[in-house]
Amino acid sequence: MQDTEKGGMAMSIFKEEVIGSIIKKAKNDKTGRVSEALREVMKICERAGLVGFTLEELSVMATTGWYISQNPEMGRLMKDLMTMEPPPPDDEFLN
């Protein structure tokens, strides 16, 4: 039988070593930037879940954001993609 918490979420999905790593980073950061980022990510994920994003969708978005943070070129590419005008509905290439 799995350990569960209110709402029936299995607690076994949370790896203890990952939680420890997060807490350690927050404690060791004297600037407060890590704790601030952690709070922001938690709030955004909560809001995203409330509006209907799945955990898998959130994972894709978080992974994309992380890769962008590691590669400025990818960040520019994503920004360009996000600001492109959508193709017209009668675009023969897409239809």
Q: How many angstroms separate the Cα of 50 from the Cα of each of 15, 42, 63?
A: 24, 12, 20
Residue type, 72: P
pLDDT in tens, 47-71: 999 999 999 999 999 999 999 999 9
pTM of the complete model: 0.66
Give residue-wise pLDDT tens across range 11-55.
567 889 999 999 999 999 999 999 999 999 999 999 999 999 999
Half-sphere exposure of residue 32: CA atoms within 13 angstroms, side-chain side: 0
One-letter amino acid identity for 32?
G
Do the Cβ atoms of 12 and 22 come closer than 8 Å?
no
Contact 74, 67 (CB under 8 A): yes
Angle at 70 between CA 82 and CA 31, to 5 degrees: 110
Structural domain boundaries in the chain = 1-51, 54-82
